[in-house]
Structure 1
Amino acid sequence: MSQPALDLLFLTPSGETLPSVRFRVLPFVELGRARGLAVDWRRAPKAVHQRLAFLLSLPKARVIVIQQKLFAPWELALIRRACGLLAYDVDDALWALHPAEVGQKGSAEKAAKIKARFAHTCAAVDLVIAGNDYLAGHARETQPNVFILPTLLDTDTYTPPPPDAAGVGRFRVGWMGTSGNLFFLPEVLRQLAPHRERLDIRIVSDAPYEGELHELVSFERWSPTLEVEQLRGFEAGLMPLTDDEYTRGKCGFKILQYMAVGAVPVASAVGFNTQILTHGEDGLLVRQSSDWATHILALANDRDMLERMAQSARASVVGRFSLGTVAPQLWAALGLAR
C-alpha cells in the first residue's frame, strides 16, 4: 500500500445524530486530531449501487474502523485494500433482531442473514472493538482479537444542574432515547400510573410516545444542542429493557448519561446494566415489574437518599466511563499510541 493519507478513518452507517456515531466516532475524531493524528470519518451510503463508487474512492489509511455497519463480503474486501489494519466497532447485538421484530413475517430469514454476516465480518477484520463483555463473547466465536471499549462520555460536558434546580414540584422521572425503543415503556407506565399525581413523567425522543398510557407523559423533542439541559430536567432516569439476546448487547449508555447529570438511574437488571450499576449505591435495578413504582417512590420520598445516590452516580461515571480517562486505551489497541 502506498503512503496512507490518513492515520485513522471511521466508516459509519449513518450521520452524526446516530448515538453510536456521536459517542463512539466523533469524540475520537476530535481527540485524534488533537494528538496530531490525521483522522476523518465518512458515512457509507445506504443504497448498494452507491456504495461501490464510495468504497473505490476511500482514501488510504493506516487504520480503518467500521462502526456497526454489516458490509457484504465483497465490500469488506474493497475496504481491506485501503488500509493496513481493519477494525470493527460494535455496541449492539447486531446479529439479533429487535424484540419488536421477532415473530414478524420474514423475521427468521432476516435473523439468519444478519447472524451470518456478523460472524463473517468479525472473522474478516483484524480487531473487533466491543462495547461490553457479552458482545465480545459473540465476536470471539470467529475473531480471537477483541478489545472491550465501553461507550464513553465527556463528563466535562454532561454535568449536574445547579443544586437549587432540584426538589421543586412533582418528582421528575425521565426517559431519553430513540423512538425505536419507546417499545419498552408500556410496562413501566402501567406500574407508575397509580402514582401519576406525584410524578412528572417526561419523554425525550425523536418522535412522541403514542402507546398505552401516553396521556401520562409529557413529550419534548430531542435536540443535540439541548440534550444536556433536557437530561438535567430528570431527577430519576428510566431504562426499561426486556431480557433477550438483543437487549443483552446494549451498552447502557442511557444510564451513563443519567449518572453524569446526577439523575439516579432506575434500570432493568439486564445485561451490562448490572455491571454499570451497584444497586442501592449509584442506581436501582429492577428485577420484577412492581420494582418500577417501588424504586421511583423510594427516591421521591427520601431526598437525602436521592442526593446521595446522585452524587455516587456522578462519581462512578467519571471514574469508570469518562472519555478523557479511558480513550488512550483505544489508541493503543489500534497501534496509534504515541
Structure 2
Amino acid sequence: MRVLYLTKYSPNGASSRLRSYQYFPFLEAKGFSITVHPFFDENYLIDLYAGKKTAKVKLLKCYLNRFFTLFSVYKYDKIVIEKELFPYFFSWFERILALFKVNYIVDYDDAIFHNYDLSASKLIRFLFKNKIDTVMKYSGCVLAGNGYLYERAKEAGAKKIVILPTVIDVDAYKVTQKTADAKVIIGWIGSPSTFKYVKNYKMVFSELLQNNAVELHIVGATEDLGLGAKVKYLTWTAATEVGLISNFDIGIMPLENTPWELGKCAYKLIQYMGCGLPVVASAVGMNKEVVDATTGFLVRSESEWLDKLNKLINDSILREQLGKNGRKKVESLYSLQKSSTILLSVLSNE
C-alpha cells in the first residue's frame, strides 16, 4: 500500500517527527510504501529555532511545492495530512480532494484552530475561523492527540475520529538508577517558543535553587533566566534528548491555562515518565490525564509548585516509586508499540 504523508515539517520538527516520521519504520515493516513531502524544509526550521525570519520568497516556494505535490495524490492509496495543506490559506484544496473522492486522513496534536478563531487579527478571524473545522469535516478520518481535539472534530462534523496520543518508543527510553546522595536535577525540555511557561515560575526556581542542593536543566532553549550557575542550558538534538532527560531527577511541565494549552498532548510528561522520573505539572488539559497521584503531582499555584518540588527534592524514595509507576503507565498507554497498531488499523481500513 502506497501512503503519501504531507507533513508540516522535516524530521527535526517535533510535531512531524512524533506524529509521522517515527511510525514509518513500523509501517514499512508491515509492507507500506511511504512517501513524505514536508511543507516547510529543514532550512525553515533552522531559521525558526534561531529566531530568524524566513524570506518571503522562501515561503512562497513552500506553498508552490505543496501545490504541485497535490497533482500526484492519485499515485497513492492513502493520504495523511498533518494539520492542514496550506497554513493561513483557505480550505479550498481539502474540499477539492474530497470532491474528487480522495479520502484523506488529517492529524492533530495541537489546537491549531485557535491560531485562527482566537487570532488577535480580526481579518484572520473573519477569513479562517472555521477553516480547520472544514478540513476535519471533509476528511475521511481525524487522528486526534487528545480529548479536547477529539471534541472539536466531533463538533466540526468529522465522519470518523480516532484518538492517537503523542507517544514515545519505550525501547529507546531507559531508566537510569539514581544515587540518593547526588544533587537533585529538576529538568525541562522544550522549544524556545514554549520556554515562556518556565519563565512564568522564575521566582519558584529562584527560591528552590537558593535553598537546596539543586540544579535546573533547560533543554532546547537558551534564553537566560538570570538565576546563576545552577541553571544549565543544554542543546537539544534527537540523538541526545533521551540521555539528557535521563540525567534529570524530576521532570516539570508548567503551562498557562488558556484554550491553546488544552490542545497540548503532554508529550514532555510522557518523555519524563518513560525515563522513570517523577513529574510535577500544571493541572491543565491532558496533563490531568497523564499525571495521577501514583506518578507525580498536579499543581495550580506558585506555592504548590514550591511545596511539591521540595517534597520530591527531599525524598529520594518517593521519587523512585513515582518514577517506576510512571514508566509502567507509559508502557501501558503511551508507547509507540501500542499506538502503531491503532495507526495501522486506520490506514488499513480507511
TM, length-normalised to structure 2: 0.85
The equivalences for 1:133-172 within 5 A come to: 133-142=147-156, 143-161=158-176, 163=177, 165-172=178-185
Confirm or deny that 1:22 pairs with 2:36.
Answer: no
Segments of 5+ residues of structure 2 without an aligned counterpart are 41-58
Tell me the distance in 2 between the aligned counterparts of 1:111 and 1:221. Answer: 36
Name which of structure 1's ranges 107-116 and 13-22 shifts more when overlaid on structure 2. Answer: 107-116
The structural deviation recorded for 1:119 is 1.2
The aligned residue for residue 267 of structure 1 is 281
Which letter does structure 2 place at the counterpart of 1:21?
A: S
One-letter amino acid matched to 1:230: L
Task: Name the amino acid aligned to 1:312.
Answer: N
Match of 2:308 among 288, 292, 295: 295
Aligned residues: 323
What's 2:50 paired with? Answer: none
Matches within 5 A, 1:173-192: 173-192=186-205
Offset, 1:73:
2.5
Equivalent-residue separation in structure 1 for 2:260 and 2:172 (angstroms) = 30
1:90 aligns with 2:103: no
**Aligned residue in 2 for 1:3:** none
Q: Residue deviations 1:144-175, cap 9 Å, x none?
A: 411111112100001212x2x43353210010
CA-CA distance at 1:76 after TM superposition: 2.1
1:68 alignment partner, one of 65, 70, 83: 83
C-alpha deviation, 1:290, in angstroms: 1.1
Deviates more, 1:327-336 or 1:172-181: 327-336
Aligned-residue offset at 1:333 = 2.2
Q: Tell me the amino acid that sits aligned with residue 174 of structure 1.
A: G
- Once residues 212 and 73 of structure 1 are traced to their aligned partners in structure 2, the CA distance between those partners, rounded to angstroms, is 44
Do the aligned partners of residues 92 and 212 (structure 1) sit closer, same or farther apart at CA in structure 2, a change above 3 Å counting? farther
Aligned mates of 2:170, 2:123 — CA distance in 1: 42
Judging by fraction of residues, say which structure has more helix: 2
Q: What residue is the counterpart of 2:4 in the other structure?
A: 9
Matches of 1:246 and 1:225, distance apart in 2: 29
Q: TM-score normalised to the size of structure 1?
A: 0.88
Structure 1, unpaired ranges of 5+:
1-5
For 1:318, the equivalent position in structure 2 comes to: 331
Q: Residue type of the partner of 2:195?
A: L
* CA distance 1:7–1:85, change in 2 (3 Å): farther
Identity of aligned residues (%): 27
Q: Which of 217, 234, 237 pairs up with 2:231? A: 217
Q: Offset of 1:307 from its aligned partner?
A: 0.5
In the alignment, is the contact (CA less than 8 A) between 1:63 and 1:86 conserved in 2? yes
- Tell me if 1:237 matches 2:267: no
Give the secondary structure class of the aligned counterpart of 1:208: coil
Q: 1:56 to 1:78 in 2, by over 3 A?
A: farther
- Report if aligned partners of 2:139, 2:159 keep a CA contact under 8 Å in 1: no
How has the CA–CA distance of structure 1 residues 214 and 131 changed in structure 2, closer, same or farther, with 3 Å as cutoff? Answer: farther
Return the alpha-carbon distance in structure 2 between the equivalents of residues 214 and 208 of structure 1. Answer: 13
1:93-147 CA-to-partner distances (Å, cap 9, x unmatched) read 001149xxx88xx534334545321111111211111001110101111214111
Q: CA deviation at 1:78?
A: 5.6
Structure 2 counterpart of 1:51: 66
Q: Kindly provide the amino acid, as one letter, of the partner of residue 157 in structure 1.
A: A
